[in-house]
A and B are shown apart, each in its own frame.
Chain A
């Protein structure tokens, strides 16, 4: 049977990108512990609207942990302290009656606040635009089974491709680095035979675009701890290896042309 919790929320409110932000405190009483964290915020918002106060802006969409829209820093941790869990899959039974919960947006210079808890993560798309693709026009694909891909390789590529692009890795990083996201996206393609033709060009372009927006990686590993899909830090090592090789290979290629 569900229990009910009385909680105190300290929530970041900010009226717009350029407005001064502040914490507001709300009492969330009688929250069923079967509710998800976002459903708890829905209830709080419903009550705020009842009191003629503007609801808290926060983003979510699929609420199944796959679209990567939800964010929130909960008690200092992106997506909360539950391992391998996006905020939308975090349930209130993980909290206790009387808890104080601090809710902030994802904090990073590359993710400016739009309003309250919503941030702009479009810098991640700029990295993909720089080379996160295999150039193959529609219709130009060969028969799907023509190139065997060893199961271990396909599985490793899938481990990287599982990234949902939420940006928790950036928010968790003391340097606001974008390495885990970039590594996952680069290695998903670099590991596969189909991705070889553009491997070095892709790596250099994506890493350098990343560096325009994000901080530098100093191997803290906070990104992995915050990642709702528990993307492995190994991919960052692979990325670093590929980047160094790419710098040499791309220069050679350039000198030949």
Chain B
């Protein structure tokens, strides 16, 4: 069905590709822009930025979000910062260096041309955000401050206290609300997209359900932009918000959009460990804590003493021991896997033995308590609030948690999926981070896609549609989709089983974390696939969704989302199984050299893009070969 996957990367030297491409893209005359109706789904950084920018250009935009207001989107929770290659610190940063770091950090599994464009527009994002009034941290002279982040050697991260995501989202949201007030964007809140409508071979609209009234409606558009985030909640416990889900992307996948590299998931090493079965989500602690904290576990499996009673000789500072040169500052994936190893050995700490210590005792003795308070106070307070432990008295307990997903719907250089007219932005697409995302790059990508890429590429697509018949909801594809969505809703209510949706989500999460988490192997992945399949069958026949479909019914909303997570979880495991190498966030135990990931560039320097072929049938794997013309692949080593 699907022919060769065309990345549509423009020809020419890397640094000129985007400039040339913008020039050769088709334009829509200002008077014609209002003839085009663009649908944006999702109101995070990518969605709000795209909707605002397209509205400013004069397109008629309809925005849909399931939140009660666009400013709730999960972009708001990002703490650390946003990268921008401004070189304000005069420390050798440049567009080329940000490009280089991102390709390398992605373990050579990203598309070079996309990454270069991302680095190019990173500087425009900072300008735009400042002009909107984003209160970035300043130096005393009034200029913008930067810090280094995530082990990079330059300081290129802009930040607004520990709430950079919040401030950038409020900036994008304010731009969006301005367009709403001008009548260029129609805002639809509490409206969950439940299907993509593909009519005559083009993405032509969406079907949404109003979560308050249960009403299912169809909306036609000349183009559909999905900016619906990542799928980390397939693990149930993650740092994602409770409502974050894969449904919009997954329903598009079921309508023909390819899903790329689902096995690239990022596990963040410094999160607060789960405390019990009731745990509903995990909280991230900024990885800057590793600058001063020492990570250790007891040498003995049967240790019962309090941390401060354990003598030095009976502590294992396992990262310092195994990686003498990087020590506690090894990259996220390495730190995470090593924590898992010691916990699996039975040497974990805490009541459930499911964490490792992050100990500030030495730093406090060396620098004094005030210095440590100054550096980390709000983080340490947040930790105490959640755990009830004072990190100045007892070591913190941390454990890795799912944080970000690099995989997503396949898109070409224009951010358009293989379904014409369907664009995918932000975390929902797969394109820029390869197999591993660097810190402070998620905000950058969401805004790059929304402010500076989509407005050009969507326009170029629309230019060809001028004078053609506009999509409208009387097309049979819309009616068929509305019927399907309505039936699905009724079906969940009619199962009348015995277990809650959350029960199944939690159980699915356990399978995913156990076998498709930080370290994967063939028997484990095969086991996961059979367990997911069995549990999915049980879910569909035994879930209990009470109430009705015409009021706010949170169990009903969740049922559809968890159903999609089951299908995605299955694909994620299969993708992990087929990718017989270790790269970035994907670690196959069979492919390692004494704990170090072994990439296989000869056989796997490609994007795996999966095609839906129907219910109950396995997806078909397509490849987009990756070439590295500028940044040549090398092996990562941190010993």
Contacts and interface: CB of A to CB of B under 8 A. Distances in A.
The finding on whether chains A and B are genuine partners in a shared complex, rather than unrelated, reads: yes
Interface of A: 1-2, 15-16, 32, 34-36, 38-40, 42-43, 45-46, 49-50, 52-55, 57, 59-64, 66-69, 85, 89, 91, 93, 114-115, 118, 120-122, 124-125, 128-130, 132-145, 148-151, 154-155, 157-158, 161-162, 164-165, 188-189, 192, 194-195
26 contacts: A34-B276, A34-B387, A35-B278, A39-B279, A57-B552, A61-B67, A63-B281, A66-B77, A66-B165, A67-B77, A85-B385, A122-B69, A128-B173, A129-B177, A132-B177, A133-B177, A134-B132, A134-B133, A138-B49, A139-B452, A141-B130, A144-B86, A158-B135, A158-B167, A161-B160, A192-B135
B386 A89 contact: yes
B147 interface: no
Given A150-B138, A188-B135, A138 B281 contact: no
Interface in B375-409: 385-388
A144 to B, nearest CB: 4
A9 B118 CA distance: 51
A114 B212 contact: yes
Given A130-B181, A138-B455, 12 more contacts: A43-B278, A46-B502, A57-B552, A59-B68, A63-B242, A124-B69, A136-B132, A139-B128, A145-B88, A145-B143, A161-B170, A192-B135
Interface string B425-455: 0000000000000000000000000011001
A135 B184 CA distance: 14
B136 to A, nearest CB: 7
B280 A128 contact: no
A114 B142 CA distance: 46
Chain B interface size band reads 35 or more
B163 interface: yes
Contact of B68 (A121, A149, A164): A121
A151 B142 contact: yes
Contact of B71 (A155, A162, A165): A165
A61 B138 contact: no
Interface centre among A55, A115, A133, A148 (most CB of B within 10 A): A133
B141 interface: yes
Given A34-B276, A130-B181, A133-B178, A91 B388 contact: yes
B72 interface: yes
A67 B76 contact: yes
B48 to A, nearest CB: 11
8 interchain residue pairs of minimum CB distance: A148-B142, A141-B131, A133-B174, A141-B127, A158-B135, A138-B53, A144-B130, A154-B138
Contacts of A85: 385
Contact of B72 (A61, A145, A155): A61
Contact of B139 (A45, A151, A188): A151
Given A138-B56, A158-B160, A118 B552 contact: yes
Interface in B129-185: 129-133, 135-144, 160-161, 163, 165-167, 170, 173-175, 177-178, 180-181
Contacts of B133: 134, 157, 188-189, 192, 194-195
Nearest to B143: A145
B283 interface: yes
Contacts of A154: 135-138, 142
Contacts of A39: 278-280
B482 interface: no
A50 B387 CA distance: 29
Contacts of A118: 552
A1 B351 contact: yes
Contacts of B126: 144
A189 B387 CA distance: 36
A66 B135 contact: no
A44 to B, nearest CB: 11
Contact of B283 (A1, A64, A158, A195): A64
A69 B276 contact: no
Contacts of B49: 138
A148 B127 contact: no
Contact of B552 (A91, A115, A134): A115
A49 B180 CA distance: 40
A141 B129 CA distance: 8
B486 interface: no
Nearest to A115: B552
Nearest to B280: A39
**B86, B132, B243, B388: most-surrounded residue (chain A CB, <10 A):** B132
A85 B233 CA distance: 25
Given A53-B546, A144-B86, A151-B140, A134 B174 contact: yes
A63 B241 contact: yes
Contacts of A120: 68
A135 B53 CA distance: 12
A138 B184 CA distance: 15
B500 interface: yes
A134 B283 CA distance: 33
Interface string B178-204: 101100000101000000000000000
A133 B69 contact: no
Given A61-B241, A151-B139, A136 B131 contact: yes
B189 A149 contact: no
A97 to B, nearest CB: 16
A249 to B, nearest CB: 20
A110 B212 CA distance: 17
A91 B70 CA distance: 28
Contacts of A130: 181
B619 interface: no
A56 to B, nearest CB: 10
Nearest to A70: B242
Contacts of B451: 138-139
Given A55-B555, A61-B74, A148 B68 contact: no
B132 A38 contact: no
Contacts of A157: 133, 135
A54 B77 contact: no
Contacts of B77: 62, 64, 66-67
Interface string B119-130: 000001011111
B276 A15 contact: no
Contacts of B163: 66, 162
Contacts of B502: 42, 46
B245 to A, nearest CB: 11
Contact of B551 (A15, A139, A145, A158): A15
A245 B73 CA distance: 35
A205 to B, nearest CB: 9
A142 B452 CA distance: 15
A206 B551 CA distance: 32
Interface string B253-280: 0000000000000000000000110111
A62 B275 contact: no
A91 B285 CA distance: 18
A162 to B, nearest CB: 7
A55 B552 CA distance: 11
A110 to B, nearest CB: 14
A214 B386 CA distance: 34
A26 B455 CA distance: 52
A34, A52, A140 pick with most chain B CB within 10 angstroms: A34
A139 B124 contact: yes
Contacts of A158: 135, 160-161, 167
B268 to A, nearest CB: 13
Contacts of A129: 177, 180-181
B118 to A, nearest CB: 16
